[in-house]
Structure 1
Amino acid sequence: MKTAQELLQERTARVKKAIALEKTDRTPILLTADAFCAYHMGVKMSDFVFDVKLSSETIFNSLKNLGDVDGTGGAFCGARLFPLMAYAKMKLPGVELPDNAFWQIDEQELMTVDDYDTILDKGWNAFSQDFLVNRMHIPVAELIAETVKLPQLRQNFVDAGYVVYIGAGASITVNEYLSAARTFPKFLRDCFKMPDKVEAVLDVILAETLEKIRKQIRGSNSIVVFVSPSRGASQFYSPKIWERFVWKYLKATVDAIIEEGAIANIHIDGNWERDLKYFRSFPKAKVVFETDGATDIYKIKEVLGDHMCIKGDVSAALLTVGKPDQVYDYCTKLIKDMGSGFILSTGCTVPPNAKVENVKAIVAAATGK
């Protein structure tokens, strides 16, 4: 039997080779699951959300139960930390929701047009700290204190031989801050009514955000840095608006990550088929295109398959209402068709109500066990 250290070396090498578009002994499998793990292990969701150590132990135990998985996307439940990155409130189980309910984003218009001038005058960091505490009423100090525990929680997975794919480095593209705090419809209206001011504000946010990202990378040993342009999909914007208010900032963020010697994992929500060609402007084998299924993975393969690793793509629908044989057949077909430079995973996270046997079918398809 292999030791945990031997498993870690083997699994890490497998993932790194896939990112580098090199042939691997088998397709690596990485699962990102949080709420699913709580349901899987019978842990009350309100406890899972509010106890970061318990959430990490629950994810660990669920992962072990699922089979020979190479690693996890995350090592703890980040639901309470989400507002620090997304600038939207959360409804949480045991507070606004029943104890075993799944947490929900509660998007409200908390930022006004006048706030644009404040950001331009005082800077993003100064504005955002006041905004989080006094307008969103987020217990920032308490949440930041929780993050002190996170390195050890990640290390627990590593010590057991698992790859922690997403470590300390994580970022959203800067337009996401405004689209959440203003609400998405109001942000889009601003892009049309006052484009120069919106762009100036985004430029300020970008400069301060990139400085933080670079420091994160330098202080982390993560394999990749997670980047989420969750509201950046082509389907939401006209081409000119998309280029100016999404692609400009996504490219700058990814370029900075690559300059720091890291790999950018771009978490692609929504349909980006119109603009896949833009991703070829990044250096080869320095980016992972992580799709949630809305973008046809075969079109991604056609345009980008020789240029960057593709990660995905088992849908939430298949995992919740499908049968294990259907999941297994879909995964084996993906493995065959995608070839080198492919990491098998779910489209976004494992849904809370996924069937355990369906998730195990993903692992079986990758491992042949």
Structure 2
Amino acid sequence: MKTGQSLYDEHLDRYMKTVALMKTDRTPVMINGDSFCAKHMGVKLSDFVSNLQLSCDTIFNSVSQLGDVDGCASNYANPLMFSFGLLSHVKLPGKELPDNQLWQVVEAENLNIEDYDTILSKGWNNFLQDFLENRLKLDFNGLKATLDFAPKAAKKFENAGYIAPTSAFMGNVTEHISFGRSLSKFIRDLYKMPDKVEAVLNVIQEEEIAQLKQQLEEVKKNKKQPPIMLGGSCRGASEFFTPKLWERFIWKYMKEATDVAIEAGFKVMFHVDSNWTRDLEYFTAFPKGSCIFESDGITDKEKFLKLLGGRMCFKGDVPAQMLVLATPDEVYNYCTKLIKDFDGTGLILSSGCTIPFNAKVENVKAMVSAATGK
């Protein structure tokens, strides 16, 4: 029987070779799930989100029953962490919501026009701390406890042989303002005061790039972690913007952060929700084998293969609705076709974004089985 260390080394080797577009013994398969794991293990969501250790144990126990999984994206759950990046309140099960209702990000106009001037005069991080503490009323002690717990959770999974798909993170800076202002108000700002919005984003980008460089240096000290930065955007696809606005307010910042990570010796995983089909050609700007395109099932895979196949790794993209509504045979057949389409190279099999809360366990197992042959 293989040890946790030997499994970890095997999974990491398979994963990194796949990212580099090299042939491997089989397609790696990743679990991206949190609420699904709670339902799988019979744990109430209200308990799951209020106890870090319970959420870690629940995800671990669920993943260990799904088959020969290479790794997983989540090893604990605290939905309040969304507030940091999205500048929004989060409703929680057991508090604002019923015990088994999924947590919800509440999009509202939390940022106002005057905040743009404050960011320009005081800087992003100075503004952010005051905003989170005094306007969103976040519990900083609870958030600190989450950050302190993260290494312990990661070690539990690592000891069992599961890899984490990324080791560093920088989201697209536009998301802060897009969510904080609300999408409709943000897009209005792009037309009414584009220069001011760009100036604000430049301030945020400069500070977050500096933090990213420090983060990458810290990660380099741990040789066991995959040198991969998680980036991308949950609603930065150009389907939300005109092409000129997209290039100016989305792609420019996304590309700069990616270039910084690549120059530091990291690969970059783009977590890109929504439809990026008409944007795919922009991704040819990055060196072959340097990035991973993580799709949620909406971007056209045929177009991806035509433009980026053999050049960029693809992660995904078993659709959420399939994991909920299809039969295990349908899921298995979809996954085996996906593996065949990529000719066994440059594909990390996974769900399209997060596995839904109400996904069928047998369907998730079918996805894993398609990759492992077990």
TM-score bracket, shorter-length normalisation: over 0.9
Other structure's SS at 2:65 match: helix
Deviations 1:317-349 (A, max 9, x none): 000000000000000000011121110001001
Among 255, 260, 263, the alignment partner of 1:256 is 260
Structure 1 CA distance, aligned partners of 2:244 and 2:232? 21
Q: How far off its partner does 1:108 sit?
A: 1.1
Determine whether 1:333 maps to 2:332: no
Q: Which residue of 2 aligns with 1:246?
A: 250
Alignment of 1:61-72 (within 5 A): 61-72=61-72
Q: Which residue of 2 aligns with 1:76?
A: 76
Q: Which residue of 2 aligns with 1:181?
A: 180
Deviations 1:41-86 (A, max 9, x none): 0111111111111111111100000011111012111312111122
Q: How far off its partner does 1:352 sit?
A: 0.5
Aligned-pair RMSD on alpha carbons?
Answer: 1.0
Letter in 1 for 2:203: V
Other structure's SS at 2:153 match: helix
Structure 2 CA distance, aligned partners of 1:142 and 1:366? 38
Other structure's SS at 1:307 match: coil
Letter in 1 for 2:73: G
Q: Which residue of 2 aligns with 1:218?
A: 217
After TM superposition, which residue ranges in structure 1, 4 or more long, deviate above 4 angstroms?
A: none
Q: Which residue of 2 aligns with 1:88?
A: 88
Deviations 1:122-146 (A, max 9, x none): 0000011111111111112431232
Structure 2 CA distance, aligned partners of 1:259 and 1:94? 45
Q: Is the contact between residue 320 and residue 355 of structure 1 (CA under 8 Å) also seen in structure 2?
A: yes
Instruction: Give the TM-score taking structure 2 as reference length.
Output: 0.96
Q: Structure 1 vs Structure 2: percent identity of aligned residues?
A: 51
Q: How far off its partner does 1:311 sit?
A: 0.5
Deviations 1:238-275 (A, max 9, x none): 10000000000110111111122211111010001111
Letter in 2 for 1:279: F
Q: Is the contact between residue 74 and residue 166 of structure 1 (CA under 8 Å) also seen in structure 2?
A: no
Determine whether 1:104 maps to 2:104: yes
Q: Which moved more, 1:242-251 or 1:169-178?
A: 169-178
Q: Which residue of 2 aligns with 1:59?
A: 59
Determine whether 1:367 maps to 2:372: yes
Structure 1 CA distance, aligned partners of 2:249 and 2:72? 32
Task: Give the total of aligned pairs.
Answer: 368
Q: How far off its partner does 1:166 sit?
A: 2.9
Structure 1 CA distance, aligned partners of 2:258 and 2:87? 21
Alignment of 1:181-330 (within 5 A): 181-220=180-219, 221=222, 222-223=225-226, 224-330=228-334
Other structure's SS at 1:50 match: coil
Structure 1 CA distance, aligned partners of 2:229 and 2:52? 21
Structure 1 CA distance, aligned partners of 2:56 and 2:371? 24
Q: Is the contact between residue 78 and residue 146 of structure 2 (CA under 8 Å) also seen in structure 1?
A: no
Structure 2 CA distance, aligned partners of 1:310 and 1:228? 14
Determine whether 1:350 maps to 2:355: yes
Q: Is the contact between residue 50 and residue 78 of structure 2 (CA under 8 Å) also seen in structure 1?
A: no
Q: Which moved more, 1:71-80 or 1:320-329?
A: 71-80
Q: Is the contact between residue 85 and residue 171 of structure 1 (CA under 8 Å) also seen in structure 2?
A: no
Cα separation, partners in 2 of 1:207 and 1:141, compared to 1, 3 Å? farther
Letter in 2 for 1:33: G
Letter in 2 for 1:117: D
Structure 2 CA distance, aligned partners of 1:343 and 1:249? 26
Gaps of 5+ in 2: none
Structure 2 CA distance, aligned partners of 1:343 and 1:149? 28
Structure 1 CA distance, aligned partners of 2:26 and 2:49? 34
Q: Which moved more, 1:313-322 or 1:131-140?
A: 131-140
Gaps of 5+ in 1: none
Other structure's SS at 1:336 match: helix
Other structure's SS at 1:80 match: helix
Instruction: Give the TM-score taking structure 1 as reference length.
Output: 0.98
Q: Is the contact between residue 50 and residue 80 of structure 1 (CA under 8 Å) also seen in structure 2?
A: no
Q: Which residue of 2 aligns with 1:161?
A: 161
Structure 2 CA distance, aligned partners of 1:213 and 1:346? 27
Structure 1 CA distance, aligned partners of 2:292 and 2:101? 32
Q: How far off its partner does 1:291 sit?
A: 0.3
